[in-house]
Amino acid sequence: TLKYDPASIQAKWLPVWEELRPFATDDPADKRPRKYVLDMFPYPSGDLHMGHAEAYALGDVIARYWRQQGFNVLHPIGWDAFGLPAEGAAIKRGLDPRTWTYDNIEQQKASMRRYAASFDWDRTLVTASPDYYKWNQWLFLKLHERGLAYRKASLVNWCPFDQTVLANEQVIDGRCERCDNLVVKKDLTQWFFGITKYADRLVDDLNQLEGTWPSKVLTMQRNWIGRSSGADVSFAIEGRDEPVSIYTTRPDTLYGATFMVVAPDAPLAAELVAEGSEELTERFESYLAEVTAQSDIERLATDKEKTGVFLERYAVNPLTGERLPIWAADYVLADYGHGAIMAVPAHDQRDLDFARRFDLPVRVVVDVNQPVTGMIPVIPEGVELEDLPELDPLADGKALTGPGRLINSGPFNGLSKNNAITKITEALRASGLGAPAKNYRLRDWLISRQRYWGTPIPIIHCPSCGEVPVPEDQLPVELPPTEGLDLQPKGTSPLGAAEDWINVDCPTCGGPAKRDSDTMDTFVDSSWYFLRFLSVGDDTQAFDPKQAEKWAPVDQYIGGVTHAILHLLYARFMTKVLFDMGLVSFTEPFSALLNQGMVLMEGSAMSKSRGNIVRLSDQLDEHGVDAVRLTMAFAGPPEDDIDWADVSPAGSAKFLARAWRVAHDVTSAPDVVWKNGDVKLRRITHRFLADAPGLVESFKFNVVVARLMELVNATRKVIDSGAGPADPAVREAAEVTAVALNLFAPYTAEDMWEALGYEPTVALVQWRKADRTLLREESVTAVVQVDGKVRDRLDVPPNIDDTSLEAAARASAAVVKAIGDKEIATVVVRSPKLVNFVTKR
C-alpha cells in the first residue's frame, strides 16, 4: 500500500515551487484585482519558533485564500533587524552585530521556505541594511522639516542595565521591557517625534477601523492616547501674583473643591515652599526624594496609602472665594495637565482617600440620587437643601462619581452634571477664569537611543550653524564599522568614539562639526516598512507613490497582540504624516487586523527558564511541515492561545495521510462527468464549497478544517462501500479537498493534485463555485423544547417560517404531554432549528 511520507513530499515540491515562483507579484500586466496580506515581520533573534510558525500558518491561509478567489496577492516578508538583541549577542560573543543578524536571517529564511509560507521572495527587506535605513533617515529629515522631529532636554526613562533611554511604552510596571530591571529617570537631551500633534486624528480615525480591528486593540489605542476633555480653571494663590491653572474633567464639581494638590516634582511646589519655614522645606525635600524614586505606575496606584505635605499656602476658589489649603502629593503627576489639581473629595476617589487620611473637609455637590432625566424636583418653600436630613452618602468610603443633580453649588443648583459642566465652564470663561480644555495621556515619541545597532540620526551639530540636516544627496549616513568601538552600554552612544566618522565638515559653513551620535528607536524602522515592500530596490525614493496607490493600505495585517499599542500607533502616525506630505492617499495603514494568540506549553509561555520550549524544527522533523501548519489552524479560533500539550500534530498527520490516500485511490480520469456521481457525497462537497469562503473570511479556520475532515470521511465511505473509487463524486471530492488543503497543508495538497492528474501548482487553482442545485437540503432537524428540555425532534423543510414551525411543534404528542395543563408564558422560535415553550410557574 501507499505510504504518506511528509519528508519526501517536501523534498519533491519545494524545488518545483522555487522554479515556478507562483507568489511573485512583479507582472505589471497582471489584471487581477489586488490584495495586500502582511504578516508582522520578525526579529532575527534566532531560528523561527513556534510563535512564528503559528503566525505564518494563519497569515498564509489568508494569502492563499485570496489567490484562490482570483486576486493578485502581495504577501511579502522581511526582517526587523536593528535593536538590542543583536547588540547584546554581539557583546557577549565578541561578534559584529551584522554577522549575528545576517546569520540568523539566513537561518530564518531557510526555515520559512521549508515551512512553505507563500511569500514573494523577490521583495524581501532587512531594516539594518543601508538601502533600507537610508529612507529612515530621509523620513527623519522630512519630519524635521515639518517641525515633527525636535530635540529637547527632558527627564527620560533610563534603564541602568541596558544603559539606554526607553520610551514610556517600553517601561512595564516600572521595569525595562527587555531586561526587567527597575527604570530610573535621567535628564538628557533627546530626539522626539511630535506624535502628540496627531493625537486627535489618531483617536478619531480609529472609527474607520471599527469592525475590522479587534475591539480590544481599538480600546487599547484609545486608552493609550487617553484623550479627555474638561476645563482649565485659574485659581489665585495668596501671596503670589500669578494665578495657578489646574485641569479638571469635572468643572461641575468646582463648588466641592476643598483643597488643592500640586505635584511635588512640579516647579510650582518648590516655588511655593521656598517662602515657607526651614522645617517645611526640609519635610518637603525629603518627601520629594521619596517620590522621585517611584515610577509613575507606583505613584498612581490607587490601593496604597496616600502621602503628602501641607505647603502652608492657600488658593482661592474662583467662584466662591473660599480659601483652599495647598498640598503636595505624589498622586498628582508633574507632566500631566498643569501638574496641579483642585481636589474634590466627595466625587473623586483619590481625593477622598487623601481627605480621609489628612482630615480635610468633604462637600457633596452632585446628588447622585436625584434622577437626571425629567423635571427638577421641587424643594419645599422655605427649606434650604442643606437643611434636609440626609444620610452620609460617603459612609462606605466610596466617592460619588456617577451622574446626578447639583447641590451646594449656588446658582448652579438643580442642573444635571453634564449641563453643569457646560454652564460652569461658560461662567468661568465669561469672567476670564477658565476655558474648555482637552488633555492627552500620549507623550511625544522619544526616538533617540545611545546604542550602536540602529539607524544613525542624520544631523550634524555645528558650533556656528547649530543643528544642520545632512543633505539628502549624502544619505545614507552609514554606520561605521565596529572595529575599535566599545559597544558596551555606558550612557553615551558608542558612535561618539568613532573619530573618523563623528568628525565632519559642516554642510553649511564647511567648519569642523560633529555628527549626532544617537541612533533611532527600531520602532521607526517598522513604522513604514509595509510601504517599502512595494518598492524594494528602488534607490531613488522610499517608496513609489504609484505603487502605494496600487497596493496599499494593507488589506489584512496579521500579528501578535504584543504589538497592539506601540507598533500600530507609530505606523498609524507615520501614515498620517505621509498623507500630509501628499505621498499616500489613505490615512490608516492596515485596513484589517488579526491578532493571533500565543503558543503555550502546559499552560505557560515557552521560555528557557521554565525549560518548556518546544522547538519548531523538532516538530517539523517529527510530524512534517503540513501537520504542524494544519495543527495551528485547527487548534481553535486564531485569537485564542494554543497549548501545544493539548493539540495533536500526530493526529493532523494522520488526517493528512487519509486525505492523500483518497486522492491516490481515485481511478477515474479528469474528464469524468461529475453529475453522474453519488448525490449524497456531491451534496457534502458542494455544501463545503459554499460554506468555506465565509468561514475563512471570518477567520474560522478550525471549522473549515473540521468540515474538510467530514468531507474526507464521506469520500472514503463511498470509495470503500459505495460505488467505489471510480465514482465521479469521489474525484470531485478529492479535487476539492486538494484545493482546500492548499490553504493549510500545501505540500500534501500539491502531491494530491499531481495524483489526480494535474500539473503544479494547486496554489493557483481557483476556488470552484458551489452548484446551487446541490445545496438545497430536503429537510433539517428542528429541536422542540419545553422549559429548555428537549422533548421532540421534527424533520422540517429548511425554509420553514416561524408560524408553521410553531404549529408543527404544538402538534407534537411528546410536547403536548410535556406541557400538560401548564400555561404557556412565551414561545421562542428560531426557524428552522429550534422551538422552546416556556411555561408559567
Interacting residues with ligand ANZ between 423 and 452 (CB under 6 A): 439
Residue listed under C-alpha cell 522555487:
18
Strand pairing report for 780-786 and 323-328? unpaired
With H, G, I as helix, E, B as strand and everything else as coil, classify residue 576: helix
Distance CA 673, CA 731 (A): 10
Does 337 interact with ligand ANZ (rule: CB under 6 A)?
Answer: yes
Q: Cα–chain-centroid distance for residue 248?
A: 30
Angle subtended at Cα 191 by Cα 190 and Cα 193, rounded to the nearest 5 degrees: 140
How near is the Cβ of 240 to ligand ANZ at its closest, in Å?
Answer: 19
Distance CA 341, CA 517 (A): 40
Sign of the torsion angle spanned by Cα atoms 150, 151, 154, 155: positive
Q: Which does 248 bind (CB under 5 to 8 A by kind): ligand ANZ, Zn ion, none?
A: ligand ANZ
- Binding segment toward Zn ion, per CB under 5 A, in 57-65, 88-96, 464-472, 794-802: 464-472
Sign of the torsion angle spanned by Cα atoms 461, 463, 468, 472: negative
Strand pairing report for 34-39 and 556-560? parallel
SS3 content of the chain, % helix, strand, coil (to 5): 40, 20, 40
* Nearer CB in complex with ligand ANZ: 136/245: 245
Does 339 interact with ligand ANZ (rule: CB under 6 A)?
Answer: yes
Q: Cα–chain-centroid distance for residue 739?
A: 32
Does 250 interact with ligand ANZ (rule: CB under 6 A)?
Answer: yes
Distance CA 10, CA 470 (A): 50
CB atoms within 10 A of CB 121: 16
Does 417 interact with ligand ANZ (rule: CB under 6 A)?
Answer: no
- Report yes or no: 761 and 62 within 8 Å, Cβ to Cβ: no
* Nearer CB in complex with ligand ANZ: 367/754: 367
Helical residues (DSSP H) of 81-234, grouped into ranges:
84-93, 97-114, 130-145, 199-204, 215-225
Q: Which does 337 bind (CB under 5 to 8 A by kind): ligand ANZ, Zn ion, none?
A: ligand ANZ
Does 348 interact with ligand ANZ (rule: CB under 6 A)?
Answer: yes
CB atoms within 10 A of CB 646: 12
Instruction: Cell numbers for 73, please give them.
Output: 496577492
Out of 67, 144, 306, 347, the residue judged to bind ligand ANZ by CB under 6 A: 347
Does 460 interact with Zn ion (rule: CB under 5 A)?
Answer: no
Distance CA 209, CA 336 (A): 28
Q: Is 684 left (phi over 0), alpha (psi -120 to 50) or beta?
A: alpha
Using alpha carbons, select from 331, 289, 337 the residue that is nearest to residue 306: 331
How near is the Cβ of 505 to Zn ion at its closest, in Å?
Answer: 8
Residue 58 is given by DSSP the state H
Does 657 interact with Zn ion (rule: CB under 5 A)?
Answer: no
Does 295 interact with ligand ANZ (rule: CB under 6 A)?
Answer: no
How near is the Cβ of 803 to ligand ANZ at its closest, in Å?
Answer: 53
Out of 248, 450, 519, 685, the residue judged to bind ligand ANZ by CB under 6 A: 248
Q: Which does 332 bind (CB under 5 to 8 A by kind): Zn ion, ligand ANZ, none?
A: ligand ANZ
- Binding segment toward ligand ANZ, per CB under 6 A, in 7-15, 335-343, 553-561, 594-602: 335-343
Does 509 interact with Zn ion (rule: CB under 5 A)?
Answer: yes
How near is the Cβ of 510 to Zn ion at its closest, in Å?
Answer: 7
Side-chain-side CA neighbours of 26 within 13 Å: the count stands at 13
How near is the Cβ of 633 to ligand ANZ at its closest, in Å?
Answer: 42
* DSSP per-residue string spanning 340-399: EEEE-TTT-HHHHHHHHHHT------EETTS-SSSPPPPPPTT--GGGS----TTTTS--
Does 756 interact with Zn ion (rule: CB under 5 A)?
Answer: no
Q: Which does 506 bind (CB under 5 to 8 A by kind): ligand ANZ, Zn ion, none?
A: Zn ion
Does 506 interact with Zn ion (rule: CB under 5 A)?
Answer: yes
* Nearer CB in complex with ligand ANZ: 364/681: 364
- Binding segment toward ligand ANZ, per CB under 6 A, in 332-340, 459-467, 778-786, 826-834: 332-340
Q: Which does 668 bind (CB under 5 to 8 A by kind): ligand ANZ, Zn ion, none?
A: none
Out of 71, 138, 150, 336, the residue judged to bind ligand ANZ by CB under 6 A: 336
Sign of the torsion angle spanned by Cα atoms 307, 313, 317, 323: positive
- Report yes or no: 655 and 712 within 8 Å, Cβ to Cβ: yes
Q: Which does 118 bind (CB under 5 to 8 A by kind): ligand ANZ, Zn ion, none?
A: none
Distance CA 289, CA 208 (A): 46
How near is the Cβ of 144 to Zn ion at its closest, in Å?
Answer: 16
Does 253 interact with ligand ANZ (rule: CB under 6 A)?
Answer: yes
Convert residues 224-243 into a mask of x (bound to ligand ANZ by CB under 6 A) and - (unbound).
----x---------------
**CA distances, 285 to each of 288, 311, 326, 329 (Å):** 5, 12, 16, 12
Q: What is the CA radius of gyration of the chain?
A: 34
Out of 346, 362, 462, 738, the residue judged to bind Zn ion by CB under 5 A: 462
Does 254 interact with Zn ion (rule: CB under 5 A)?
Answer: no
How near is the Cβ of 353 to ligand ANZ at its closest, in Å?
Answer: 13
- Report yes or no: 189 and 405 within 8 Å, Cβ to Cβ: no
Q: Which does 465 bind (CB under 5 to 8 A by kind): Zn ion, ligand ANZ, none?
A: Zn ion
Does 732 interact with ligand ANZ (rule: CB under 6 A)?
Answer: no
Q: Which does 526 bind (CB under 5 to 8 A by kind): ligand ANZ, Zn ion, none?
A: none
- Binding segment toward ligand ANZ, per CB under 6 A, in 329-337, 423-431, 590-598, 666-674: 329-337
Q: Which does 249 bind (CB under 5 to 8 A by kind): ligand ANZ, Zn ion, none?
A: ligand ANZ
Does 465 interact with Zn ion (rule: CB under 5 A)?
Answer: yes
Using alpha carbons, select from 343, 171, 164 the residue that is nearest to residue 250: 343
Q: Which helix (H) or strand (E) holds 153?
A: strand 149-159
* Nearer CB in complex with ligand ANZ: 129/307: 307
How near is the Cβ of 408 to ligand ANZ at its closest, in Å?
Answer: 14
Distance CA 181, CA 160 (A): 8
- Binding segment toward Zn ion, per CB under 5 A, in 24-32, 415-423, 461-469, 735-743: 461-469
Q: Which does 347 bind (CB under 5 to 8 A by kind): Zn ion, ligand ANZ, none?
A: ligand ANZ
Dihedral (Cα; 306, 310, 313, 314), 10-degree rounding = 40
Q: Cα–chain-centroid distance for residue 610?
A: 27
* Nearer CB in complex with ligand ANZ: 263/642: 263
Q: Which does 567 bind (CB under 5 to 8 A by kind): Zn ion, ligand ANZ, none?
A: none
* Nearer CB in complex with ligand ANZ: 332/577: 332
Does 405 interact with ligand ANZ (rule: CB under 6 A)?
Answer: no
Does 461 interact with Zn ion (rule: CB under 5 A)?
Answer: no
Out of 508, 547, 591, 612, the residue judged to bind Zn ion by CB under 5 A: 508
Q: Which residues bind ligand ANZ (CB under 6 A)?
A: 228, 247-250, 253, 263, 332-333, 336-337, 339, 341-342, 344, 347-348, 439
- Give contact residues for Zn ion (rule: CB under 5 A): 462, 464-465, 506, 508-509
